Amino acid sequence: FDVNYELEERLKASGKDKQVKLIRDIADLANIYYIRQKEPKGLGHAILCAKTFIGEEPFAVLLGDDVVVNKNSKPALKQLIDAYEQTKSSVVGVQTVAKEDVCKYGIVSPSHSHPRENGGRLVKLNNMVEKPAVEEAPSDMAVLGRYVLTPKVFELLETQGKGAGGEIQLTDAIKRLMDIQAIYAYDFEGIRYDVGDKFGFIKATIDFALKREDLKEKVQ
């Protein structure tokens, strides 16, 4: 995501002008800022490390393990941003998962007293649990790596104790945020791949290859 003159020169020297343009276009995509989480203390702690970048603005969280494709319509994050604009509240992206998989995710509990909006996709929450046992899960709606959050969550992350797996969990801080601000879940449209899982990684690789003109015939 940065200009690499040495690589550009080498590519130019071997007449690979198309590739030069490709890497230059990537470098021009965005300004990237990053910060390292010095110890693996959990997702909540990782997000807290970015506090100084964010300041007082709402912000998005995208977990790299969750790849979502929604080719013919809005990307998952845009769906969440629109829901944020509508509610002016934090929104977590969810989809239904198999019962036996609820123990891998943050699971939400929709409020029954509050009407669902946006064709049933937008729902207010009254609880969230990180990696519950099947019998304790409040629903089968799992948070799948997309969030739009208000900066208030940082105050809660600062005092958040360890939760599931002995880690500082983002889910636990969002749950506490519910006492102060409304939190919504948005059942986003799109195919989601769990590329942190071996099978999910292979599935994503094959599906993406099948969509590429230069690869699909060989992979089919």
Interaction site with ligand G1P (CB under 6 A): 43, 63, 65-66, 105-106, 130, 142-145, 169-171
173 contacts 48 by C-beta, under 8 angstroms? no
Toward ligand G1P, which CB reaches closer, 105 or 188? 105
Give the residue with the Cβ less far from ligand G1P, 58 or 163. 163
Taking the complex as a whole, how short is the minimal distance between the CB of residue 107 and ligand G1P, in angstroms? 8
Minimum distance from residue 198 beta carbon to ligand G1P (Å): 14
CB of 130 or CB of 140, closer to ligand G1P: 130
Q: How near is the Cβ of 26 to ligand G1P at its closest, in Å?
A: 26
Residue 143's DSSP bridge partners are 94, 106
Shortest CB 99 distance to ligand G1P, Å: 15
First to last CA, the chain: 32
**Residue with smaller CB distance to ligand G1P, 11 or 66:** 66
Which residue's CB is nearer to ligand G1P, number 106 or number 110?
106
Q: Which positions ≥6 away from 213 have C-beta within 8 Å?
A: none
Q: Which residue has the CB atom at the shortest distance from ligand G1P? A: 106
In the chain, alpha helices (H): 5-13, 17-27, 43-49, 51-54, 76-87, 153-158, 170-177, 198-210, 216-219
CB of 162 to ligand G1P, least distance (A): 13
Nearest to 208 by CA among 219, 197, 196: 219
Residue 44: CA atoms inside 13 Å, Cβ hemisphere, count? 27
Minimum separation from the CB atom of position 170 to ligand G1P (A): 6
Round to whole Å and give the CA distance between 181 and 29: 34
Q: How many helices (H) and strands (E) does the chain have?
A: 9, 8
* Residue (130 or 187) nearer to ligand G1P, CB: 130
| CA distance linking residue 113 with residue 102, whole number of Å | 24
